Amino acid sequence: MIQVPPYTFTHCTTEREKKRGVFCRRRGIFDEMTVYDIIDGKKRGQELREEQIRAFVRAVTDGSASDAQIAAFCMAVLLRGMTDRECFILTDAMAKSGQVTPRPQITGVCADKHSTGGVSDSTTLILVPVLCCLGVRCAKYSGRGLGHTGGTLDKLESFPRLSVELTPEAFERQVEKIGGAIAGQTKDTVPADKRMYAVRDVTATVDSIPLIASSVMSKKLASFADVILLDVKCGDGAFMRSPEEAEKLARLMVSIGSAAGRKTCAAVTRMDSPLGDNIGCNAEVREVIQVLRGKQNDLAELSLYHCGKLASLALGISEEEARRRAEDAVRSGAALKKLAQIVRAQGGDERAVYDETLLPLAAQKETVRAAQSGYLHVSALALGKACCALGGGRQRAEDAIDHTVGILLLRRAGEFVKEGEPLADIYYNRENAEALALVRGAFREEETFEPKPLVYRFIGEEDSNA
């Protein structure tokens, strides 16, 4: 990790300086540094110095930098890029912009998994209880859904009365007592990222690889996980459309984590069609429970793949042995019991783990059928947008979620279907012509189908810079 001497900033007072967002660093190192000059340097393609990056993040955090300046900086980074060194410094500065959770006195190795977002990706709710059964501590900080991608916290709240707002002390106690916890990070965690992301979201700068990497990894470094696995999605339903772009992002994030002293790895995985068979909060939690009871599909396979990789790193055992233990935890029913234990510990109704009627689906149902015979192609993006339009997702952060709406896939991408055959059931409370049209348009029947691998590439610390 790059170490720098402490420094301080004071606001300058002239009107010209105020307009340009000026900071003065103590004499002897820099006489004057402005947010304007930092933006201008990056606009010209310059590699920013460490003190410039840290000054900018401080300005974002304390409000000295305007939204317009943040937008200009983000656009300059998107167009000009950043070196790995710049990305690490930006990540480190963002992680330290708020509360950093120190490593508590929890016995054993703490693991964390992060997905860059997809459709019907409920791997966290499977992975956490399985890893707990293997003796790996899971201190999982998760987020909410936005747009077509679902959020782990929203899905977890499908369990009646469950709370994802745990104090740091309660979070640590739960991890120590039962092996795992899933909660949201506090408002004091990485405030610089929260402000920068809000600006990126409305200025077409979300898809910058350096900014994605620093956003994701700043939150990981602000927590206390010893081992981190990053699931970098690519395809129709992901932010990264190609495996090549996803691999660039994965390598950068692994290098940042490794530079910070965390065991970090990444998997580049497919997100052209939904990962699971169910889309929507209650529907996806139902499928999580089915997988923990032995259901086999891509969701189950990727969850066990991640378990094998993380347990191997955390416990120092072979991936084959780690995978075998993970499968045993599912087969024996231990992982399902552990999920119920986590739900109960966070105030939820554990009966819902064993009784799916406590995870109800919306009252109205419509079935989508194949327009013609052929090999089925399924758009993850269209189905994610459709679920959001039905009320199962958010267009804005303040939107409420309808946990009961959802889409249940009856056939998978690549299967041959006949004209008129049922493809999916849509559950909704209010008819929405746009959403129903999106679901119908998500399916295409064609003469051929070219299968793609579930996992394109695994990247460990040893090859992050290869």
Active site residues: 114, 193, 200, 215, 219
CA pair distance 17, 20, nearest whole angstrom: 5
E runs forming strands in 298-420: 364-369, 374-378, 406-409, 416-417
Please check whether residue 350 is in contact with residue 340, taking contact to mean a CB–CB distance below 8 angstroms: yes
The first and second tokens of residue 414, run together, are 């690549």
Provide φ and ψ at 233, rounded to 5°.
Answer: -80, 150
- How far CA 401 is from CA of 150, 309, 453, 465, in Å, comes to 11, 33, 32, 41
Helix residue ranges per DSSP H, 123-167: 123-133, 152-156
DSSP code per residue over 397-439? TT----TT-EEEESS-TT-EE-TT-EEEEEEESS--HHHHHHH
Instruction: Summarize the chain as % helix, strand, coil (round to 5).
Output: 45, 15, 40
DSSP state of 149: B
Three-class DSSP category at 153: helix
Residue 184 DSSP SS3: strand
Q: CA end-to-end span of the chain, whole Å? A: 20
- How many Cα atoms sit within 13 Å of 399 on the Cβ side? 17
For 369, the token pair is 């059928």
Tell me if 65 sits within 8 A of 93, measured CB to CB.
no
